[in-house]
Structure 1
Amino acid sequence: MNREFLKFWVGQSVSMLGNQFTLLALPIAAAVTLHANAAQMGLLGAMRFGPGILFGLPAGVWLDRNRRKPILVASQAVSAIALATIPAAALLHHLTIGQLYAVAFVAGAAATAQVIAVPAIVPALAGRDRLVQANTRIQSSFTVSNLVGPGLAGAAVQAFTAPLAIAADAASFVVGAIMTAWTGMNEVLPPPSGRRTFADAVEGQVWMWRQPLVRAITLTILINNAGGNVIFAVYVLYFVTRVGITPAQLGLIFAVVGASALLGAQLARPLLARERLGLVMVGGASLVVLGQTGALVAAYSPPRAAFPILVAFGALLGSGLMIYNINQQAIRQAVTPDRLLGRTQSGVFVLVAVASVVGSLLGGEIGQSVSLRAALAVGVALNLISVVPTIFSQLRKLRTVPAAVLEPSTSSSMPI
């Protein structure tokens, strides 16, 4: 890997580690510090993903028309500022659920640009012939952050309270922005299309749904995120306030997910070496779904058994996520023309955001009007369905990552 990719990778890795603090601390701040109910927890989740629905498609077009690096740097700076207001308000004893909603929305808007920009930047930095290696490094960073971050976050929450722990995430975004700004890259800008933003956005979405591999991956991710957010809307509320799982134990559960992902990467290598990518994709998706059923099993088990059950099923979940995500990202990047990378990534992101908002609101509503266990059951049912598009598609028949799609460039390359 070249030096510029390594700088970029380091910056994103630090941000990933910081994200673990907010992932754990934000719902705990709502449920424990502010005593939010199930409906409010669902709304908090919806506020995180709502900006993706509003800004995802325009952001994809914008990122395909402009240099992506400055946009990524600016979005990381916005995230840092927004998150820093939570510990500041807590220190002044003015933290409210309304502020958590507002910060979740602003941080979600910034995350929209980040999630779309990072995969679109990777091919230019690493080269299309090294996509699997580059995505392995990025996914490995995500795995390590999942391994180390939750434990650190859980300890920080117990020692300093959840709102103050979020300061670590704000600091990580500062580091990420500095490292990204320091990265040199040649970004190729396509000639102006002469079309409106809506027409360019539609082109990307039409291509995404017509490409069979991208379509199958998108459907699996879409359904799984809907089910996962039905579960997560009530997960902290149920297991922390009802079962008695401590923040430190919750951090350990998330850490096991990260640790097992390293094992998942190793398990997939022999099959990939034998050109069995299709089997890897099906196996990865199945392990994810199996791991996600752990929340329901734990909910119907004796309270003292909940923690070891969540740990065991978390190990399956982490292995499956690593196996599936490395390869689905490489497949999507390889078969997508460079000029459409931002728009297709934004298309996936917007659909996932819709599914996540619906899942969060649905989980909160079921948890409030029926029961928290009922919400967990509905989420698991959706997760089980999510593996179907991967199994019954051309993904199952793949032997290796498809050849990269290259289009002749008519524009100039400028270092920034």
Structure 2
Amino acid sequence: MIAGGTEKKTLFRRNSNFRALLVSSTSGVLGNAIAAVALPVIAAVELEASNFAVAALAGMTFLPWLLFGLLIGVWVDRLPRRPVMLTALTVRVLVLALLPVGYWLGFLSTPLLFAAAFTAGVASAFFQLADAALVQQAVTPDELMEGNGLITGSGAAADAAGRSAAGWLTSLAGASNTLILQLATSVVSLAAVGRLDVKEVIRPRSEQHIWREMLDGLRYTFSTAPLRALLFNAALWNFGGNIAASLLVLLVLRTLHESEIWLGMLLAAASVGGAVGGITAQAMGERFGSGPLWRWSMVPGVLGYASLLVLTPGWGMLWGVAGLFVMGASVAWNIVVGTSFRQRVCPPDMMGRLGAASRMVSWGMLALASFLAGILAETIGIREAILVGVVIACLAPLVALLGPLRGTRRLEDLVEAPEGAGLDSPART
């Protein structure tokens, strides 16, 4: 693009702080993707855990959001974000390093696996809230869609690479040994965060009780019709979709008797779709409007998860590859639009608490969904449990299409209405 005779630099090239955040985030996603494949395979193959344990394990990394999300959000708003990110990454490295060591020395167990996943989830909560708050301060409001699109797209590409590589490596070298790669990516993230030079907006020391600040964050999350609509949409999608996602390992390894390589390919397909969705989100939003893009994005996403119901061994697995690709792109569009809107309207000193309260509800659903998935797998069967998840996920696009934002073309142009307005009529631009 030419402007005034010179080539306009991309956000990645012109903003060193955003570049460091992108490298850190992408490396972290790569490591998380490897762990997301390795941990349930450790449970299913190396420890021969029950169906309930394998499904519930996926929820352990999200359970901290449900239990401590608001408290962590208050701390993130009170503290400098860069040291928080460095500490969180260090803790995550040390905790996950216990698993390959335990495998080598013979003390690896299901309780240790659950404890490590939970502790790593606590560290991730600190890291992700601090990271989101710094993105808001590292770019201008008009750069948020571009920045979040790059982060989402790059992260999804790293997720695809990590999951596909992990599927192959767990089959070749063992799931516990594969976690060594995850530790290496965390070191890269540490180095990138160490290069940050953001002048942070930190609140003056507050005299309010920490419980009051937690309630302020929760109250702000529900304060306007747009924020409520975004939250309910995400919560319903995460609850239904993660029932299906938590059972994917069991479906592939125990029902279809396929290899970890196919598992990695299915998970990678969702991530490749997410990369495409993240990269194209800004262009799609400009062409169709961020409102319609957000409202319709989950419709193909539901169909993508439904593809898991028709999987068969061999070439029949390709239905899932195509379906999860579509699902990944749909989710990325939804996330980029929703995240950019929250970052645009939220004051910097409230960002940690808004992120914590939103994720306590929406990501807390991921934890509950995993536990319910395990119960359903034991009682009604794996495929039947996936069907339940798909049916629940259908409620997410209904909230978007029929809710208070049904007439909005550009979410970024919304003017916050007075409290109590906007619930009974479409928000206006």
TM-score by length of 1: 0.91
Query: Aligned partners of 1:256 and 1:274: how far apart in 2?
Result: 26
Name the residue aligned to 1:53.
Answer: 66
1:214 is paired with a residue of what secondary structure?
A: helix
Q: How does 1:13-412 map to 2 (within 5 A)?
A: 13-265=26-278, 268=281, 271-274=284-287, 276-298=289-311, 302-304=312-314, 306-402=316-412
SS in 1 for 2:200: strand
Contact 2:281-2:336 within 8 A present in 1 as well: no
Distance 1:273 1:357, change over 3 A: closer
Shift of residue 404, structure 1, vs aligned partner: 9.5
Separation in structure 2 between the aligned mates of residue 365 and residue 168 of structure 1, nearest angstrom: 32
Structure-2 separation of matches of 1:86 and 1:405: 50
Which amino acid is the alignment partner of residue 54 of structure 2?
A: M
* Whole-angstrom distance in 1 between the partners of 2:53 and 2:265: 25
Percent identity, please: 26
Q: Matches of 1:274 and 1:175 in 2, distance apart?
A: 36
Measure how far apart 1:230 and its partner are: 1.7
AA aligned opposite 2:41: I
Specify whether residues 256 and 44 from structure 1 end up closer, same or farther in structure 2 by C-alpha distance, changes over 3 A only.
Answer: closer
Question: Is the contact between residue 38 and residue 368 of structure 1 (CA under 8 Å) also seen in structure 2?
Answer: yes
What amino acid sits opposite 1:163 in the alignment?
S
Alpha-carbon distance in 2 for matches of 1:405, 1:87 = 52
Determine the C-alpha separation between the residues in 1 that align with 2:48 and 2:198.
47
Distance in structure 1 (CA, Å) of the matches to 2:190 and 2:66: 24
The more displaced of 241-250 and 40-49 is 40-49
Does structure 2 conserve the Cα–Cα contact (< 8 Å) formed by 1:17 and 1:172? yes
Distance 2:205 2:228 in 1: 27
- CA 1:145–1:241 in structure 2 vs 1: closer, same or farther (change >3 Å)? same
Contact 2:241 2:389 in 1 (8 A): yes
The answer as to whether partners of 1:334 and 1:403 remain within 8 angstroms in 2 is no
Deviation at 1:180, TM superposition (A): 0.7
CA distance in 2, matches of 1:57, 1:208: 11
2:48 alignment partner, SS class: coil
Q: Structure 1, unaligned stretches of length 5 or more?
A: 407-416
DSSP 3-state at the match of 1:213: helix
Whether contact under 8 Å (2:156, 2:274) holds in the other structure is: yes
Flag the 1:42–1:252 CA change in 2: closer, same or farther, 3 A.
Answer: closer
Mapped contact 1:83–1:170 kept (Cα < 8 A)? yes
Structure 2 distance, partners of 1:125, 1:265, is 19
Distance 1:356 1:273, change over 3 A: closer
Q: CA deviation at 1:194?
A: 1.8
**Could you give the per-residue CA deviations for residues 146-190 of structure 1, whole angstroms, max 9, x where no partner exists?**
332222111211121011111111221122122112211101122
Query: How far did residue 343 of structure 1 move?
Result: 0.5
> Distance in 1 between the 2:146 and 2:302 partners?
26
Q: Is the 8 A contact 2:91 2:123 kept in 1?
A: yes
Question: Partners of 1:267 and 1:186 in 2: how far apart?
Answer: 30
Structure 2 contact 303–327 (Cα < 8 Å) conserved: yes
TM-score normalized with structure 2 length: 0.89
